[in-house]
Structure 1
Amino acid sequence: MTIPMLRAAALIDPLVQSNSHIIYSAKHAYPLHRHDFYEIFMIVSGQCAHSVNGDVQHLKQGDIVFVRPEDAHSYDLLEGEDCRFVNVNFYKEVVESAFDYIGHAAFAQALKSPPLPPIVRLAAEDQEAMAAKSTQIQLFTSTDKLKARTMARNFLNDALTLFFLHYRNDNRKAMPQWFNQLLAELQRKEHFTAGLDRLRALTPHSDGHLNRMFKRHLRMTPTAYLNHLRLSYAKNLLLTTQLPIVDVAYEAGYENLSHFYHLFKDAYGVAPGRIRSADPF
């Protein structure tokens, strides 16, 4: 069975880089599909079955769901009861930029890496605030695109804040002090650009132990974490300097330009050359 792919280029206004709409019934939602953009939806009344990646999530009023690019999902009634939900979509690079701004790689991975989309149950006042903001995005998209774009960023920031607070409450197990110190050292350019050999030189622990610690606390491998730091640094250089792309790659620790292009596009959804004009904010 071929699952349709919905594309941001066809569905999202490039001036707003987001869209918002209300789905009044699970029966009216799009059938099983994937998409190349991020989606955040919230159940505002009733309940529904969210079929996603071969599993089913039972959702009720107040549940907000973080759907990632490539998740395959659809909606159905739950125990005969229908639902109404708001749906806000974002360009992939907009959400990745928000993660960069937050600067917490483990939190980003906690949202992006699980087999099923993360869910948070919101308090009544948070439900009302998020629903109101989604309505404003929809309203201003047709009358004032700059205002709609601002409201969309506001919605995204608030949604990620709610997910982050939930993440911090769930992630109570403290990192060992030596691991915290290692992560602090890796924030320095001379360390993260030097790669795995430098990481090994900064700690007496074995590769196996390091892999276990990175996966336990950051939900990624040491290589993935170093690439996160390098690509974030490269993106900042692209947006704030006029350095040629080959020099940006070299400054970020990449000697293979083709490999840099591949990793950058995979992380941000656009090639390095396009991000200077893409205005991801």
Structure 2
Amino acid sequence: MVAVNFSLQLIYVISMMMVGHLGELALSGTAMATSLCAVTGFSLLVGMAGGLETLCGQAYGAKQYRKLGVHTYSAMISLTLVCIPISFLWISMEKLLIFIGQDPVISHEAGRYAVSLIPGLFGYAIFQPLMKYLQTQSVIVPMLLSAIATLCLHIPLCWVFVFHFGFGNVGAAFAISIAYWLNVMFLAIYVRYSASCELTRVPFSKEAFRGIGEFLSLGVPSTIMLCLQWWSFEFMILLSGLLPNPQLETSVLSICLTTVSLLSMIPSGISAAARSVHVCTLHKRFLC
């Protein structure tokens, strides 16, 4: 899981590196948008998907394999619905940043970037439950191969969008969105045709809608716990935009926090693996 998380985080790091060659304005706008998108969007999806670790772990430990698939569908539906109001918020990001006192020029760049990242938000809403679904079953290698393949495709794709087509930081957002959907496609193909998912692979049914309430009962508290930690870092970027030289200050701080976030993937991956093993093992012993 460490390698998986590291590869996924490198998508953001490489995108920021390429945007950094465009100048302080592009980098500061991208950093500002990335922070606000994390606060209002991605952190919520990751937190809600955390509820699957308990639900899927219990189902898999109890050998109720059908419930594992149903819980995953319920999570996908819930996260996709959450993306709708978030998308409208991102469309208004430029006005929101100006309202809270950010530099208008940086806010404009951030707004363009956030709107271009909306397709990736919906891809992320599908990708997170798929990861938890496979992680619960200790199917890690396909996730690693998918993450590495996506990363290898993302590098030239991001360069083409940012520099060759001249899209600038908007091109980086397009590339990130495509990367999320590529991960979804790779993992969905594996789940559909792999024998290792045969027991837990179930067709979509109305049962998934009935399970939304149970999923939210765990997903919402999980979101609150994660966001309290995540937001403390992201608010630093937003506060840097209020300093006398916002373009420089935001750019420098974004580089520092991007490096820290990349290093944090090591303990994060170990923690994710430990949680999945713990939940499954604990429930198996309880049943015995």
Structure (1 or 2) with the greater helix fraction: 2
TM-score by length of 2: 0.29
Report which of the two structures shows the higher radius of gyration computed on alpha carbons: 1
TM-score by length of 1: 0.29
Structure (1 or 2) with the greater strand fraction: 1
